[in-house]
Amino acid sequence: MKVTPLDLRQAKLRVVMRGYDRTEVDALLNEVADDYEQALRESDRLHQELLRLEAVVAEHREHERNLRNTLLTAQRLSDEIREHAEQESRRILEEAESRADLVFQQTQGRLEDVQREIDALKLKRRDVETTLQSTIATLRNALEFVREQEQKEREDKILLHRPRQAPAELPVTVIPQPKAVNESPTAAVMRALDAAAEGQ
What's the CATH number where 63 sits? Answer: 1.10.287
Give the span between the Cα atoms of 138 and 130, in whole angstroms.
Answer: 12
CA angle 117, 34, 137 (to 5 degrees): 80
Q: Would you list the DSSP string of 68-91? A: HHHHHHHHHHHHHTHHHHHHHHHH
In a domain, 29, yes or no: yes
Predicted confidence (pLDDT) per residue in 119-162, tens digit: 998 999 899 889 889 888 999 998 899 889 888 888 888 777 66
Lowest mean pLDDT, pick from 3-17, 54-68, 126-140: 3-17
Give the span between the Cα atoms of 151 and 149, in whole angstroms.
Answer: 5
Q: What is the pLDDT of residue 184?
A: 58
Cα of 174 vs its chain's centroid, Å: 50
In a domain, 15, yes or no: no
Q: What is the pLDDT of residue 57?
A: 93
Q: What is the domain count for the chain?
A: 1
Give the span between the Cα atoms of 13 and 152, in whole angstroms.
Answer: 22
pTM for the model: 0.30
> Residue 32 is part of which domain span?
24-157+182-199
In a domain, 2, yes or no: no
In a domain, 1, yes or no: no
Q: What is the pLDDT of residue 14?
A: 66
